[in-house]
Structure 1
Amino acid sequence: MAILTRHSPRVGGESENRRRVLTAAVIAGAGVAYALWVVEFLLPTRLSLISGFVSEHYVVSQPYHWLFRGGDVVSGVLYLVAAGLVAARWCSGDRLVAGMAVATALFGAATVADAVFVPDCLTTVDPVCERREFAAQVSWHHLAHLGSSVVSQLAAIVAVLALERLATRSGSRLDRMAARTGLIVVVAAGLACVAGYPFGWVGVPQRVQLVTFSLITLGVAWRIGSAAGGEILAGRGRRALPVRGADCDDES
């Protein structure tokens, strides 16, 4: 165990900078791809922004289903790669970083599954489809989509929670405020989706949650792209703190 401060020597070099920039670029790409759904504001889709799920664009009867599904596949793969890069670069002895990486990887895998396992029909548009779903009289891939959606929601919350704990441990005041605000919005929007479904306004909180998670992802990419971002993940923040696994990180 070592005591690390903001004045600790940096593990630098050209190779280190390249890895850091690569990680930041992959994370930024994931955030941008995950926000591809915003093109629904520009395209003549037939779904309501107020009551419809974004994933209902995946249904094969929808005109741009390959575009929306493709965006989620790309973003999910990039989240998986980003989780691997973060886990490989920053010591696995740090449980917060490890937890964030695992949750991010799970989120990426669930996001890909969301796009691969397509719903049979539009539950927010077709009452018959909604009744079939509640009675579990839909295809296995429709049920798999429901399961992967739940997993992605929970994984996103865990990842943002771990990020908030990292910011609290080693980040600046701005880092802490941004992470806590993001966590509150992601959790509140998720609860609002559940509460709003019977009233037909699930679309608004879901889209707020998706935008927030993309912004959090881009914020993480920006911070990792800076030297300070890497130090936060390594436990080198504003305050001197005992960091588990710091010796391992110092050897990387």
Structure 2
Amino acid sequence: MTARGRVAVAALLILGAVGYASWLLEFVLDTGIDPLRGFASELAAADQPYGFWFRTGDLLTGCIVAVAGVLGLSRYSQGWVTAVGWIALIVFAFATVADSRLPMSCAATNDPVCAAREAGGHLPLTHDLHAMTSASASTGAVVSCLAFLLAAFRYRWPTWLKITGVAVATVFVGGTVWTLTAAGLRGQQDAWLGLGQRVQLLAFCGWLIFVALSVIHVTPERDGST
């Protein structure tokens, strides 16, 4: 039962990673969003032709990771450090669910009318709420990343797992800094915001897989779990 429990949580995390990578469908669908410069969230905007499918992908991802996070927190925490990591994953999950329910109304990077409304401050409140939920999801993801990486060294996880964690975390944090910097320069300089964000998203998918590997290989089973 213990082995099955570990596999179930790990499988949920991997399934969550697959769902969070649903934006990759933009390379086979005619979305009209520039992957180098457009926000990934614009794929799920209310007026986009495939918006429903991208929003559903985020919704399912959030639900799946939330379940994995709750199970991980209750069964596979290794001290307070991993507990923080699991809680941060749960925050990410709920924020992602909220993100999917509060989509942008339009895509400013490929719609001049939407861009003009954005510049004039005439977009609906959902855009501001979406920005808040997206920021919450990113914060949860970063905290989870730092917490589990600290746990890898604090609890002396296997060398191969620590190296994997450092590599994935470096790409993820780098992508996050790139995205924030490009967003700050938006309208002044083209810093390929879309590419930076997609690097960040893909790296976090890898991070969910890393956490799944930690569940399988190192984190202890809490007493009373199955």
Q: Same fold (TM over 0.5)?
A: yes
For 1:44, the aligned partner's letter is: D
The 5 A counterparts of 1:127-166 are: 127-130=112-115, 132-133=117-118, 136-166=121-151
Partner of residue 63, structure 2: 77
Partner of 1:95: 80
Residue 196 (structure 1) aligned with residue 159 (structure 2): no
Code of the residue aligned with 2:106 in structure 1: it is C
Where in structure 2 are there 5+ consecutive unaligned residues? none
Pairing partner for 1:61 from 28, 47, 59:
47
Contact kept, 8 Å, 1:20 with 1:230, in 2: the verdict is no
Distance in 1 (CA, whole Å) between partners of 2:168 and 2:72 is 20
Give aligned pairs, total. 219
Which of 173, 198, 219 in structure 2 is aligned with 1:230? 219
CA contact (8 A) 1:32 1:214 kept: yes
RMSD: 2.0
Q: Distance in 2 between matches of 1:91 and 1:138?
A: 43
Tell me the secondary structure at the aligned position of residue 219 of structure 2.
helix
CA displacement at 1:131 relative to structure 2? 5.2
Letter of the 1:229 counterpart: V
**Separation in structure 1 between the aligned mates of residue 118 and residue 164 of structure 2, nearest angstrom:** 38
Letter in 2 for 1:230: T
Structure 1 or 2, whichever has the larger Rg, is: 1
Q: State how far apart, in whole Å, the 2-side matches of 1:172 and 1:135 are.
A: 53
Contact 1:160–1:182 (CA under 8 A) maintained in structure 2: no
TM-score (norm 1): 0.80
Partner in structure 2 of residue 187 of structure 1: 173
Letter in 2 for 1:18: R
Structure 2 equivalent of residue 176 of structure 1: 162
Equivalent position of 1:104 in the other structure: 89
Task: Pick which of 215-224 and 168-177 moved more.
Answer: 215-224
1:20 Cα deviation from its structure 2 partner? 1.1
Q: What's the CA shift string for 1:198-243, capped at 9, x where partnerless?
A: 2341010111111111012123223423xx2334xx6xxxxxxxxx
The Cα of 1:91 is off from its aligned counterpart by: 4.8
1:213 partner amino acid: F
**Distance in structure 2 (CA, Å) of the matches to 1:132 and 1:95:** 46
How far the C-alpha of 1:127 sits from its partner, in A, is 4.9
C-alpha separation in 2, matches of 1:191 and 1:135: 27
* CA deviation map 1:4-54 (0-9, x unaligned): xxxxxxxxxxx2122111111111111111111111111111110110111
Kept in 2: contact 1:51–1:124 (CA 8 A): yes
**1:212 aligned partner:** 203
Q: How does 1:112-123 map to 2 (within 5 A)?
A: 112-123=97-108
Distance 2:140 2:68 in 1: 15
Tell me the distance in 1 between the aligned counterparts of 2:134 and 2:119.
16
Conservation of the 8 A alpha-carbon contact between 2:20 and 2:61: yes
Identity %: 31
The answer (yes or no) to whether the contact 2:32–2:110 under 8 Å persists in 1 is no
